[in-house]
Structure 1
């Protein structure tokens, strides 16, 4: 005959479980109360500073977006100004072209200012004022804020517009470091330096430099052609591919070469 569970034992176990459940509820309530109190203390201590930081961050982000928008609008306006000046320059309105970009020269920076100065220098050169053109090109060449590509080109143009009046030694001094294979403006700088060597009577250096230009695939073909002719006149063989040169001189399918258009270099 099986023994029945002791009722007193069951009652004790039930009370123990109930007590444990009540204790667990009490612990959770106390924990939540402590957490709430800590949160309120944290909010009272750090709430306002954090809110202030959040507001400052939002204002800063909004200010950045506004500044970026203003920058983009300014860049669009500057681009439109330069394009308008180029149109005037191509139309032969040299003074109007220079006046159009005058505000960019006065207030612009970096590439914008350099572009405006280069345009004004080009207008001065076209009008025959080589002295003013050289001065404006020189400003770009000496501007540390201008991109290096602009500075190099401006330095070459400054020498080119007054080449006839410059001592040959000065040409070599100013462009000698650029007249080397691998340099960005090797062809243009090298041609001017080689001509300066000719003025000095140094045909050996001139011929060697013309030969290097003629063999450099990175140099425009029109410039390579001139260099090839000059090198040949100075006794330097600058022809690597005879068939290619013959094809260039005779035109496609062996046709006779056509006359160069007037003004072509």
Structure 2
């Protein structure tokens, strides 16, 4: 390589170096900012996780302390004074409070506590449905039959997580009002439902027999009907 070529190569290298330094001076802050954002984001995520753990531990400690007091009325008061940060935790806590209120004999207050959960739009639907079901059943015969029937019929519709339990309560109202045929038909529908639990299925079978009915088992899986049909196929 001649001296001229060597000189040109050195000049080109110097130009490239100057351009690189220029780019770094002009755009280097972007890389630094990206690194800071990544590190800061990781630190913030860890902080949030630690904060969530601390809140959960504090809530658990407060609930255990509330449940450790002597009487149901005192436990209800202690539970009611806790203020959880998340709607789901608040719903569970209020249902626990309602249970202690009911144990203390304050049914009206327990129903009011459950009803507040049932209409809280921030609470997941399954918790609202559970609170509504508990409020209805807690009132029992103290509430007018028509009111209980209307509320339970609304809960017995498809899509409600407690529809079969609501149907069972409707059957009990039929028995209460001496409508035995309606009760048997309702229990038969429960017995044949594909989503019925084993315990509820057994209860339905026992009540049908106790009411003098004859259970129809041809479409009932697990009690001979569905299994037999499957074997025939």
Q: Specify if TM > 0.5.
A: yes
Q: Following the alignment from structure 1 to structure 2, what is the Cα–Cα distance between the partners of residues 28 and 204?
A: 103
Is it true that 1:161 corresponds to 2:158 in the alignment? no
Give the alignment's Cα RMSD to 1 decimal.
3.1
The 1:44/1:208 distance shift into structure 2, 3 A limit, reads same
Q: Following the alignment from structure 2 to structure 1, what is the Cα–Cα distance between the partners of residues 100 and 33?
A: 55
Is it true that 1:240 corresponds to 2:201 in the alignment? no
Q: Following the alignment from structure 2 to structure 1, what is the Cα–Cα distance between the partners of residues 136 and 24?
A: 70
What secondary structure sits across from 1:176 in the alignment?
helix
Q: Once the 2 structures are TM-superposed, how far is the Cα of residue 200 of structure 1 from its aligned partner?
A: 5.2
Q: Once the 2 structures are TM-superposed, how far is the Cα of residue 175 of structure 1 from its aligned partner?
A: 2.3
TM-score (structure 2 length as normaliser): 0.77
Q: Following the alignment from structure 2 to structure 1, what is the Cα–Cα distance between the partners of residues 183 and 107?
A: 26
Structure 1: 5+ residue stretches without partners: 1-17, 246-265
Which of residues 7, 13, 17 is equivalent to 1:36?
17
The 1:177/1:219 distance shift into structure 2, 3 A limit, reads farther
Q: Once the 2 structures are TM-superposed, how far is the Cα of residue 192 of structure 1 from its aligned partner?
A: 1.3
Aligned to 1:146: 123
> Does the Cα contact within 8 Å between 1:153 and 1:185 map onto a contact in 2?
yes
Q: Once the 2 structures are TM-superposed, how far is the Cα of residue 142 of structure 1 from its aligned partner?
A: 1.3
Q: Once the 2 structures are TM-superposed, how far is the Cα of residue 127 of structure 1 from its aligned partner?
A: 1.3
Is it true that 1:97 corresponds to 2:75 in the alignment? yes
> Does the Cα contact within 8 Å between 2:117 and 2:128 map onto a contact in 1?
yes
> Does the Cα contact within 8 Å between 2:136 and 2:148 map onto a contact in 1?
yes
Q: How does 1:191-210 map to 2 (within 5 A)?
A: 191-199=168-176, 202-210=179-187
Aligned to 2:101: 124
Structure 2: 5+ residue stretches without partners: 224-233
- Which has the larger Rg? 1
Q: Residue deviations 1:130-172, cap 9 Å, x none?
A: 1111111111111222233322211111001112122223223
What secondary structure sits across from 2:155 in the alignment?
coil
Aligned to 1:254: none
Q: Residue deviations 1:172-227, cap 9 Å, x none?
A: 32222433688532442222122233455544432211223345574352x44443
TM-score (structure 1 length as normaliser): 0.68
Q: How does 1:195-234 map to 2 (within 5 A)?
A: 195-199=172-176, 202-215=179-192, 218-221=196-199, 223-234=200-211
The 1:41/1:237 distance shift into structure 2, 3 A limit, reads same
Q: Following the alignment from structure 2 to structure 1, what is the Cα–Cα distance between the partners of residues 190 and 67?
A: 31
Q: How does 1:44-123 map to 2 (within 5 A)?
A: 44-88=25-69, 93-104=71-82, 106-123=83-100
What secondary structure sits across from 1:101 in the alignment?
helix
What secondary structure sits across from 2:26 in the alignment?
helix
